[in-house]
């Protein structure tokens, strides 16, 4: 199968979930399937804005950013629901866990889309087969549709994934760019928003082909250094690698493991969760952060996968705290069937120094004992700098002495905290 892959280039997939918020609601409540559904911020107010909507609603002309009263005028039978961010976060974690079954090089770019580099995954089959398998697995396990673009770089993969929705798979090669991309309006190119399109129109650039052939001098004059980059993209050039660590402002840390055999023993599964919780705690300590949300992923013998999350009263980082929260989630949602894979993820991460702990009756006494020491440390940091006193774990990490955490799946970057709307992403 290796001959199906380029000898020098890369094979990149862009996986984009279709009408993500609406699709998650339909998966949660199947009675909504096939009906016009919209997710809106202020359901009770006529001026509430549509965040996203189902494809059934779009057939009536309902669009993202439209006001509720406009949408209901176009589609009187429109069903409107408030966003459920915990539900969307859990579905996103489950989706990225599936992607990591096919490649270690997975780069989330928002709650519902990410890039994959499958160049070294040739033992799993040809690229189209891998894309079809991913699409089917996400649909079978999470009941969520997605579109996938296959290309030699990230830009072309992103453009390809937008071409067939829902549940489409598109291959876009560099040699296809003149025929497929160049005739399109420049405003349809990823990375060009409304204002940039207006600036380009002012200098006679109306199509992607016009941009590809444009003189760099006026481009730089009107768009700065971004002009040269957009010209490269219009010619199908993009040298950016798929980098799981590309954003330092990560929002989650997790580990998952596939069990050597299907396990149905409760104590054995809780023991596995304890080991995963320890690994998550070590990584949180190394990064000097705490988690305000814990998620557990369970994959059953029949490969059905669920991810459930819980927002915590206080941010946590210790193994015992993580294991307790993960164990409670697991016992609440496990149906008793044999388990093939377990995962624990800490999300909504905060720097330890910035985390505000809500003291309760049980933690107050313990925290009060530490207060004099914490005040002394803080004074030393104010006088000599914040790195004058650090945890032994962080020093070992700087010296490269920390032990390797293992090869379990890591989910250490996403945008699950801010939940950008689909329209926001298209205007980037």
* pLDDT per position as a tens digit, 48-95: 889 899 999 999 999 988 899 999 999 999 999 999 888 898 899 899
Q: Is the pLDDT of residue 405 over 90?
A: no
Considering only residues 368 and 229, tell me which one the structure prediction assigns the higher pLDDT.
Answer: 229
- Please report, for the domain that includes residue 326, its CATH number: 3.30.1490.100
d(CA 108, CA 112): 8
Q: Do 19 and 128 belong together in one domain? A: yes
Q: Is the pLDDT of residue 232 over 80?
A: yes
**Which DSSP category does 336 fall into?**
S
Q: Do 194 and 169 belong together in one domain? A: no
Q: Smallest Cα–Cα separation from 18: which of 148, 141, 127, 165?
A: 165
Scan for tokens 């539900």, then name that residue: 87
**Which DSSP category does 189 fall into?**
S
Is 86 noted as a catalytic residue in this protein? no
What is the domain range of residue 188?
182-234
Cis-peptide into 166, omega within 30 deg: yes
| 113 DSSP β-pair partners | 16, 110
Average pLDDT value for residue range 153-181: 96
Q: Do 218 and 105 belong together in one domain? A: no
Give me the chain's average pLDDT, please.
Answer: 83
Average pLDDT value for residue range 161-177: 96
Please count the other Cβ atoms lying within 10 Å of the Cβ belonging to residue 86: 14
Residue 224: pLDDT band (50, 70, 90) is confident
Q: Do 204 and 259 belong together in one domain? A: no
Supply the angle between the helices 225-234 and 216-223 in degrees, to the nearest 10.
Answer: 130
Average pLDDT value for residue range 203-219: 95
Report if residue 428 sits inside a domain. no
Q: Do 264 and 389 belong together in one domain? A: yes
Q: Do 265 and 211 belong together in one domain? A: no
Residues 6+ apart with CB under 8 A from 173: 151, 152, 156
**Which DSSP category does 31 fall into?**
G
Residue 419: pLDDT band (50, 70, 90) is very low
Q: Do 405 and 270 belong together in one domain? A: yes
- Please report, for the domain that includes residue 212, its CATH number: 1.10.150.20
Q: Do 198 and 142 belong together in one domain? A: no
Q: 25, 97, 107, 113: which is the annotated catalytic residue?
A: 113
Residue 385: pLDDT band (50, 70, 90) is low
Max Cα distance, the chain (Å):
70
Report if residue 217 sits inside a domain. yes
Q: Is the pLDDT of residue 416 over 50?
A: no
Residue after which a domain boundary falls, among 156, 173, 190: 173
**Given this model, what pLDDT does residue 127 score?**
95
Q: Do 129 and 275 belong together in one domain? A: no
Average pLDDT value for residue range 400-426: 35
d(CA 117, CA 115): 7
Average pLDDT value for residue range 98-115: 91
Q: What does the pLDDT look like over 329-374, one tens digit per residue?
A: 999 999 999 999 999 999 888 776 555 444 444 444 444 444 555 5
**Which DSSP category does 348 fall into?**
E
176 known member of a binding site: no
Average pLDDT value for residue range 119-134: 93
Q: Do 81 and 163 belong together in one domain? A: yes
Q: Smallest Cα–Cα separation from 269: which of 340, 345, 346, 319?
A: 340
d(CA 241, CA 11): 11
Average pLDDT value for residue range 384-410: 41
Report if residue 303 sits inside a domain. yes
Residue 110: pLDDT band (50, 70, 90) is confident
How many structural domains compose the chain? 3
Contact (Cβ atoms closer than 8 angstroms) between residue 95 and residue 17: yes
Report if residue 246 sits inside a domain. no
Report if residue 59 sits inside a domain. yes
Contact (Cβ atoms closer than 8 angstroms) between residue 120 and residue 152: no
Residue after which a domain boundary falls, among 124, 139, 173: 173
Q: What does the pLDDT look like over 252-283, one tens digit per residue?
A: 788 888 888 999 999 999 999 999 999 999 98
Residue 302: CA atoms inside 13 Å, Cβ hemisphere, count? 7
State pTM to two decimals. 0.64
**Given this model, what pLDDT does residue 335 score?**
93
Q: Do 198 and 155 belong together in one domain? A: no
Q: What does the pLDDT look like over 6-29, one tens digit per residue?
A: 778 999 999 999 999 999 999 999
16 known member of a binding site: yes
Whole-number Cα distances in Å, 25 to 43, 81, 200 = 15, 9, 39
**Given this model, what pLDDT does residue 406 score?**
31
Report if residue 415 sits inside a domain. no
């Amino acid at each position: 199968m290796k001959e199906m892959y380029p000898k020098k280039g890369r094979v990149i997939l862009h996986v984009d979930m279709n009408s993500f918020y609406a699709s998650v609601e339909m998966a949660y409540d199947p009675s909504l399937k096939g009906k016009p559904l919209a997710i809106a911020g202020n359901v009770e107010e006529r001026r509430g804005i549509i965040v996203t909507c189902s494809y059934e609603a779009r057939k009536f002309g309902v669009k993202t950013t439209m006001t509720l009263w406009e949408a209901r005028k176009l589609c009187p039978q429109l069903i409107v629901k408030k966003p459920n961010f915990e539900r969307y976060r859990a579905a996103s974690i489950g989706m990225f866990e599936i992607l990591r079954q096919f490649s270690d090089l997975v780069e989330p770019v928002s709650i519902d889309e990410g890039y994959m580099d499958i160049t070294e995954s040739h033992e799993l089959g040809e690229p189209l087969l891998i894309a079809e398998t991913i699409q089917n697995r996400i649909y079978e396990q999470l009941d969520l549709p997605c579109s996938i673009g296959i290309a030699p770089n990230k830009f072309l993969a992103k453009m390809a994934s937008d071409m067939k929705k829902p549940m489409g798979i598109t291959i876009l090669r560099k040699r296809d760019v003149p025929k497929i991309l160049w005739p399109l309006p420049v405003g349809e190119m990823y990375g060009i928003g409304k204002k940039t399109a207006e600036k380009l129109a002012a200098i006679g650039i109306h199509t992607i082909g016009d941009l590809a052939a444009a003189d760099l001098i006026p481009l730089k004059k009107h768009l700065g250094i971004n002009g040269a980059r957009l010209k490269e993209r219009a010619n199908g050039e993009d040298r950016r690698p798929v980098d799981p660590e590309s954003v330092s402002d990560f929002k989650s840390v997790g580990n998952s493991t596939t069990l050597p055999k299907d396990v149905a023993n409760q104590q054995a599964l809780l023991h596995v969760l304890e080991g995963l919780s320890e690994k998550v705690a070590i990584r949180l300590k190394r990064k000097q952060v705490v988690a305000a949300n814990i998620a557990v992923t369970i994959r059953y013998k029949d490969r059905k996968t669920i991810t459930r999350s819980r927002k915590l009263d206080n941010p946590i980082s210790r193994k015992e705290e993580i294991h307790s929260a993960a164990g409670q989630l697991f016992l609440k949602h496990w149906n008793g069937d044999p388990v093939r894979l377990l995962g624990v993820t800490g999300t909504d991460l905060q720097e330890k120094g910035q985390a505000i702990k809500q003291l309760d009756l049980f933690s107050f006494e313990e925290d009060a004992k530490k207060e004099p020491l914490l005040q002394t440390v803080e004074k030393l940091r104010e006088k000599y700098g914040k790195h004058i006193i650090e945890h032994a774990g962080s020093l070992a990490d700087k010296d490269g002495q920390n032990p390797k955490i293992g090869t379990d799946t890591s989910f250490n970057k996403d945008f699950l905290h801010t939940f950008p709307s689909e329209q926001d992403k298209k205007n980037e």
